[in-house]
Amino acid sequence: MAVRAVRGAVQLERDEPGHMDEQVGALLTAILERNALTADDLISIWFTATPDLHSDFPAAAARKLGIVDVPLICAQELDVEGAMPRVVRVLAHIESDRPRSAVAHVYLGAAAALRKDIAQ
């Protein structure tokens, strides 16, 4: 079993805890489903949020999905002028037999524009 990394992102419409839970939950669910993963396959997850998001921790959405024994960490994304606002990014480390080229990176909604080269 190899260690792989899965990327993903979602743009929120507004900075509200319930909306963040919903959107980050949808992102994590899509990452798991598209890569045929369960919570047992997760090693750790890094979340970043743009500086305009401060209503909640993105990792809280993972805990609400039942991802409770996986190390999670949140950080603030760089404040780059002109960058897409209200974005939560994910970097999940996983155990998988998939080759690196078969890992499905997930960019939902408008966030697909961030990585057209790897978005599935």
Nearest-5° Cα angle at 110, 3 to 18: 80
- Contact at 8 Å (CB) between 89 and 96? no
Asked if residue 89 belongs to a known ligand binding site, the reply is yes
Instruction: Tell me the torsion sign for CA atoms 77, 87, 23, 19.
Output: positive
Read off the tokens for 65: 């999905």
Asked if residue 63 belongs to a known ligand binding site, the reply is no
Asked if residue 4 belongs to a known ligand binding site, the reply is no
DSSP helix/strand/coil, 57: coil
Q: If you ran DSSP here, which 8-state letter would residue 68 be given?
A: -
The annotation places the binding site at 7, 89, 107
The annotation places the binding site for prephenate at 7, 89, 107
